[in-house]
Structure 1
Amino acid sequence: MTRMRLIHKRYATLLLLASSASFGNLAMANAERSPIDSRLQEAAQQVMQQYNIPGLAIALTVDGKPRFYNYGVASKETQQAVTSDTLFEIGSISKTFTATLATYAQASGQLSLTDSPSQHLPQLRGGAFDQVTLINLATHTAGGFPLQLPDEVQNRAQLMDYFKGWQPKYAPDTYRSYANPSIGMLGMIAAKSMNLPYEEALEHRLFPMLGMFNSFITVPANKLPLYAQGYNKQDVPVRVNPGVLAAEAYGVKTSSSDLIRFVEENLGITPVEEKINRALMDTRVGYFTHGAMTQDLIWEQYAYPVQLNTLLDGNANKMIYESNAVTPLNPPLAPQQAVWVNKTGSTGGFSAYVAFVPEKKLGIVLLANKSYPIEPRIRLAHQILSELAEN
């Protein structure tokens, strides 16, 4: 065995020991152990070994109660163990908070999702971008934005110029093109309707109302020890770079404990004030379909029970990198109970997945400080929630 292989084997062994120790501490903290605990641990460690994941935080909500499973380390350098308070970058799951901010602004009478962008950004009046609605921005159906803004867009003035000159590839409501620029603009508009910068609207208004006090766009100095180190596919340490509309599209850092609370609020398990509840429900209205997937406001849902292959198809690369024809729902579909609701999220050094089933009052959060594929996240979540649903 070469020296490098020996080092890698020793690191993997240490990682599993750290994982087991973390799990053991968790088990002692929980008075009741579920039969699924050992299977979850085995499946989680298999994924960690296969993709060389340093740390993994899993949270479940079952029978109205959260359960936490923490494995490995938040940083290879410090060897600090992952906990339910460790902060992870959640990538595009951040978009669900952008959508919730917009629906909260609507519930507060500050905007309508049927508004055009220029009703809030008059400088965009008259262009093609003014022909879409805020619903289009939240459902990726504005007409064909790229996944990312062009590199030359580096400030607010250049951003406005970009949207003034934007020309759609498709008519609104006809194609779904997964994109950061459109949801980013929804966040900007929602915050502007509240007379707040986006970061302040999220950190000082929305997160406190959701009881998420360990969630941030900019991690404050006193919380930096909780911020996990991310690792890219080559195992190089990385963290997300700030950029134009990054906060609105993929900028949230949060913990498994905060994120499972958000899931429980969406499930109606954890009570919230009436406007927030209305906002959460409004994000789960279905507007378009593509195959088995119904596009809500950022959330994507599937009729439940759902086959694993259906979820894999709905979260495949073609849904991220290609434009796909959609069918509008007229009238829109009210929030459903017998559905699997999900959202993936990734940055250069972190990977995340959230899914919940309202009918079963079940939900799962997966957070990792390593860039690894979407498919194993969905396989793990589907395995766990399917077993729980049968019990």
Structure 2
Amino acid sequence: MFGTINRISCILILLPIFSVIAQENEDKKRINQAVFNKIEYHFNLQETDSIYALAGKKFTQSLSPQAFQTVMTQQMYPLGQIQSAELVTYEKGQGIYKLNFISTPLQLVLSLDSLNKIETFLFQPYKEPVADKPAAVAPSGNTAANFNRFVDSVALSYSRKNNTYALAIGIVNAGKTSSYYYGETEKDNKRLPDENTLFEIGSISKTFTATLLAYLSETQQLNLDDTITKYLPDSVVGNVDLKRITLKQLANHTSGLPRLPTNINATATDSLNPYKGYTKEHLYTYLKTYKAAIAPDSIYQYSNLGFGILGDILSSIYGKPFNEMIQEIICQPLGLKNTTEHPDTDTQYVAKVYNKKGVETPLWTFNAITAHGSLKSTVPDLLTYAKAHFKMPETDLENALALTRQFTYFNPPDTDIGLAWHMTLIGGELVYRHVGETYGSSSFIAFSPDKKVAVVVLSNAAETVEPTGMAIIRHILSTD
């Protein structure tokens, strides 16, 4: 009897608490929307100073008024006015708004600090919400007995989405290596991915390019602080805006270069394979007339172009194409047999890839700026690559791997940058991570050298696997 009364009392006490929390969340949501309404108004009038005046201390410390003006003027205002907008989600203090422009929709991620000032202000490609499949895709039968329930649950949450197909997960933890495979490598083929299935890894390729850079530095073939014009053709070295950019700045995204060259759309021969038709001639034509909108080393600005230029420079110094460098310097010493730009179709199988709507799309091929995203790989190879970072460095390659992990730049609010690697504290442990996305693939790698933990997640769909990978490594480090 007394137990029943106590349980009822607890329920009566908790109900008002939950009601207060829900009301507080609703109030914060309304404030977030009110700030967004101001942003939309000032955006359409191109009143940059008025938007910046809404920013909080953390935001203004990370981005100066001049840099913010440049970003808005060069990248955002050319899109035209916001025709309409809607709140898509509001969770954990963060609102995501769909912005409809005449050309293409974007989404704005907006969060506020304790004073209701802008803390996060991030424009991204709009991601259409995807419905779940009615039933989960079954995992591989020969490994099902070893599945960790948590890994299984987050993997199935991803696999249930209607636009996903194959999912491959690899984990190194407590001295053990585990692999998990879901779905199908091609629509309706009922074939599970396995340890020999290659996936596009997109921008994870940048960490390999950074390793090449570090290796040539370790072997004294270059200096990280060399200006890039030291290694570029005579036709472009006269551009004073290029003379201020260093090799290190290409590798940590502080060169000021845009994400992509402005002439890439005009040279694209296939809209679904955007880099295929972009040649060195196109690249050097762009670099001849490049005008810096952002000064080098002033802000972090992610640049595929920067890594494409870096790869071209490294190939010029080493005297061999990018893929040959990858094989000789990294893959052969580490025993990576399935990591390559050009898979052998007779002996290697690459999973077909699918866009955000679940429709098959071509694998990307590259011409001039290959080094930013051209590699394909497998779960076992990427786990081996991650484990190489666990070792105390002895060889030139191991010293190069360690050099890529050294701090080079702080990217607020909570991420440091090495050479390509993004560094974050998770559960008090320093974690190095990178993601990759193409029109039809998504990839994730993260590792903690101190804890000797690594997580790799690969998919043949353009549905990001980053939340899946982050959930797994957070779970491991929080329960270690």
Q: TM-score range by the shorter chain?
A: 0.7 to 0.9
Distance 2:158 2:184 in 1: 15
In structure 2, the residue matched to 1:363 is 454
In structure 1, the residue matched to 2:336 is 212
Instruction: Structure 2: state its 5+ residue gaps.
Output: 1-130, 268-277
In structure 2, the residue matched to 1:145 is 258
**Any conservation in 2 of the 1:203–1:217 contact (CA below 8 Å)?**
no
Q: Which amino acid in the other structure matches residue 191 of structure 2?
A: Q
In structure 1, the residue matched to 2:435 is 344
- 2:450 is paired with a residue of what secondary structure? helix
Q: Out of 213-222 and 149-158, give the one that drifted further.
A: 149-158
Deviations 1:64-120 (A, max 9, x none): 332111111111243321102210001111111111111111112211111111222
In structure 2, the residue matched to 1:259 is 382
Task: Tell me by how many angstroms 1:304 deviates.
Answer: 3.7
**Alignment pair present for 1:296 and 2:438:** no
Task: Tell me by how many angstroms 1:261 deviates.
Answer: 0.8
From 380, 385, 388, the counterpart of 2:473: 385
- 1:66 is paired with a residue of what secondary structure? strand
Distance 1:258 1:148 in 2: 32
Deviations 1:28-48 (A, max 9, x none): 6xxxx4xx7122112201111
Q: Which amino acid in the other structure matches residue 193 of structure 2?
A: V
Question: What is the aligned residue count?
Answer: 335
Distance 2:163 2:256 in 1: 39
Q: Structure 1 residues 239 and 267, CA, compared in 2 at 3 Å: closer, same or farther? A: farther
Q: Which amino acid in the other structure matches residue 143 of structure 2?
A: L
- 1:175 is paired with a residue of what secondary structure? coil
Q: Which amino acid in the other structure matches residue 420 of structure 2?
A: I
**Alignment pair present for 1:76 and 2:187:** yes
- 1:87 is paired with a residue of what secondary structure? strand
**Any conservation in 2 of the 1:144–1:175 contact (CA below 8 Å)?**
no
**Alignment pair present for 1:160 and 2:284:** yes
- How is 1:80-95 mapped onto 2 (pairs within 5 angstroms)? 80-95=191-206
Q: Out of 198-207 and 276-285, give the one that drifted further.
A: 198-207
Task: Tell me by how many angstroms 1:234 deviates.
Answer: 1.4
In structure 1, the residue matched to 2:353 is 230
**Alignment pair present for 1:126 and 2:272:** no
TM-score by length of 2: 0.66
TM-score by length of 1: 0.80
**Alignment pair present for 1:274 and 2:395:** yes
Deviations 1:1-33 (A, max 9, x none): xxxxxxx99x865x623x2xx1x31256xxxx4
Q: Structure 1 residues 126 and 148, CA, compared in 2 at 3 Å: closer, same or farther? A: closer
What RMSD, in angstroms, separates the aligned Cα atoms of the two structures?
2.2
- 2:160 is paired with a residue of what secondary structure? helix
Q: Structure 1 residues 342 and 204, CA, compared in 2 at 3 Å: closer, same or farther? A: same
Bigger relative contact order, structure 1 or 2, given CA contacts below 8 A and separation 6+?
1
**Alignment pair present for 1:176 and 2:338:** no
Distance 1:156 1:122 in 2: 11
Q: Out of 248-257 and 43-52, give the one that drifted further.
A: 43-52
Deviating above 4 A after TM superposition, structure 1's stretches of 4 or more consecutive aligned residues are none
In structure 2, the residue matched to 1:335 is none
Q: Structure 1 residues 214 and 122, CA, compared in 2 at 3 Å: closer, same or farther? A: same
Q: Which amino acid in the other structure matches residue 257 of structure 1?
A: P
Distance 1:149 1:66 in 2: 44
- How is 1:7-22 mapped onto 2 (pairs within 5 angstroms)? 13=135, 16-17=137-138, 19=139, 22=140
Task: Tell me by how many angstroms 1:169 deviates.
Answer: 0.9
Task: Tell me by how many angstroms 1:360 deviates.
Answer: 1.6
**Alignment pair present for 1:38 and 2:162:** no
Q: Which amino acid in the other structure matches residue 132 of structure 1?
A: I
Q: Structure 1 residues 282 and 81, CA, compared in 2 at 3 Å: closer, same or farther? A: same
Instruction: Structure 1: state its 5+ residue gaps.
Output: 1-7, 307-337
Distance 2:284 2:199 in 1: 31
**Any conservation in 1 of the 2:426–2:474 contact (CA below 8 Å)?**
no
In structure 2, the residue matched to 1:309 is none
Give identity over the alignment, percent. Answer: 27
In structure 1, the residue matched to 2:67 is none
**Any conservation in 2 of the 1:111–1:190 contact (CA below 8 Å)?**
no
Q: Which amino acid in the other structure matches residue 290 of structure 1?
A: N
Distance 2:421 2:344 in 1: 28
Distance 1:12 1:272 in 2: 49
In structure 2, the residue matched to 1:333 is none
**Alignment pair present for 1:25 and 2:148:** no
- 1:221 is paired with a residue of what secondary structure? coil
**Any conservation in 2 of the 1:54–1:72 contact (CA below 8 Å)?**
yes
Q: Out of 239-248 and 60-69, give the one that drifted further.
A: 239-248
- 1:190 is paired with a residue of what secondary structure? helix
Q: Which amino acid in the other structure matches residue 351 of structure 1?
A: S
- How is 1:238-257 mapped onto 2 (pairs within 5 angstroms)? 238-257=361-380
- 2:167 is paired with a residue of what secondary structure? strand
- 2:335 is paired with a residue of what secondary structure? coil
Larger relative helix fraction: 1
Deviations 1:222-250 (A, max 9, x none): 234x2101110111111333234442111
**Any conservation in 2 of the 1:149–1:181 contact (CA below 8 Å)?**
no
Distance 2:164 2:195 in 1: 17
Q: Which amino acid in the other structure matches residue 410 of structure 2?
A: T
**Any conservation in 2 of the 1:149–1:180 contact (CA below 8 Å)?**
no
Distance 1:92 1:236 in 2: 22
Q: Which amino acid in the other structure matches residue 45 of structure 1?
A: L
**Alignment pair present for 1:286 and 2:385:** no
Task: Tell me by how many angstroms 1:253 deviates.
Answer: 0.5
